[in-house]
Amino acid sequence: MARRLLEKVGAQKDDTVLVGVDQPGPVAMAMGILRLEMGRELKLVDEKAYRFLWVTDFPLFEWDRETGRYASLHHPFTAPADEDLALLETDPGKVRAKAYDVVLNGYEVGGGSLRIHDSTLQAKVFGCSPSRTRRPATASASSSRPCSTGRRRTAGSRSASTAWS
């Protein structure tokens, strides 16, 4: 089994393969912290360099095991990616958000999201029809600021992101 794993990840002689088993969030957090620590300890990081990174393609929702339903990962006013709109009703866990983080040397220094400006789409994200929305009907119209910092995260806390340097 170990040999198959090494072959599957393309490991070669003297490579190290780290395997984490848990929910995606905790594994991503642990691997991110481990990656940063190993980079420092093995002197793979130039402490004098400034390296910026844009991180995008975050999931719009995360599964909440306590409630047994999806919850907004960033905030409920974050717009879904246009190409993922059809997935809102069929597979919400695969919908990506119009959100981003800016990372400097492995630490998040900023981030935000684009807001929803369509009440029908907002109702879909809330998970109910517009007439049953518990928020004011003008919520999306009054939330016209294009960016929001949302909740803070540490490097490595994303399991489904794409990064460009």
Q: Work out the pLDDT band at 162, boundaries 50, 70, 90.
A: very low
The amino acid at 159: S
Lowest-confidence segment of 6-10, 35-39, 115-119, 130-134 by average pLDDT: 130-134
Q: Work out the pLDDT band at 156, boundaries 50, 70, 90.
A: very low
Q: Domains in the chain, start-ordered, CATH in brackets?
A: 47-164 (3.30.930.10)
pLDDT digits (tens, 9 = 90+) for 42-95: 998 888 999 999 999 999 998 888 888 888 988 899 999 999 999 998 999 999
Higher local confidence (pLDDT), 68 or 115: 115
Q: Work out the pLDDT band at 137, boundaries 50, 70, 90.
A: very low
pLDDT digits (tens, 9 = 90+) for 3-54: 898 999 999 988 888 889 998 889 999 998 998 899 889 998 888 999 999 9
Q: What percent of the chain has pLDDT over 70?
A: 77
Residues 6+ apart with CB under 8 A from 127: 69, 70
pTM value is 0.62
Of 59, 72, 82, the residue nearest 157 (C-alpha): 59
The amino acid at 74: H
Place of tokens 């780290």: 18
The amino acid at 150: G
